Amino acid sequence: MPFSDIINAELADHLERLNPDNDQALVFTSPMGTPLRHSSFYRRAWLPAVAKVGLPGIHFHDLRHAGNTLTADAGASLRELMDRMGHSSTCAVLIYQHPSGERQRKLADAVGEAALKTATSSGTHVAREASGQSERREGSASRLPARLKAIANN
């Protein structure tokens, strides 16, 4: 699974410090090189890290929620999210989705642009022009894009 360039360099450095000959080596270990225990990790690493960045109350699993919400906001399909998360069901993926105001704004803008394009070149309008009927209705049709623009600007 690809990672963002933001973390690739640090992750590559970390992996290089591990045993490069063992592709089954643990990526994150205790100071002794053994598998992490939840309680030790939580107490020794997680709590100090969230305190250092000023985010007390953040849980490790919150990273999964945040990462998948950001991935969805970036435009990932349900199938792509399922692959990234390792789920076989769309129901499981939907649990991790959280609506965001920014995404809602992008969707509204996209719908508005599509409506403006449709309003200015609809099939009905084109057909009326071809049959000579456009003069009767042109006034209301030509005002529609202006109305949509006025609504979008409010």
Q: Give the tens place of pLDDT for each residue, 56-77.
A: 899 998 998 888 888 888 888 8
29: three-class secondary structure by DSSP: strand
CA atoms 95, 73, 58, 27: torsion sign? positive
pTM confidence score:
0.57
Buried b (16+ CB within 10 A) or exposed e, 30-47: eeeeeeeeeeeeeeeeee
Span 11-27, pLDDT tens digits: 888 888 877 777 788 88
Q: What is the DSSP letter of 45?
A: I
Span 92-139, pLDDT tens digits: 888 777 777 887 888 899 888 888 877 665 566 656 666 666 554 444
Number of CB atoms found within 10 A of residue 125's CB: 19
Instruction: Give me the pLDDT at residue 17, please.
Output: 82
For residue 125, the model assigns a pLDDT of 62
The answer on pLDDT for 8 being more than 90 is no
Q: What is the C-alpha end-to-end distance of the chain, expressed in Å?
A: 42
Q: pLDDT band at residue 51, thresholds of 50, 70 and 90?
A: very high
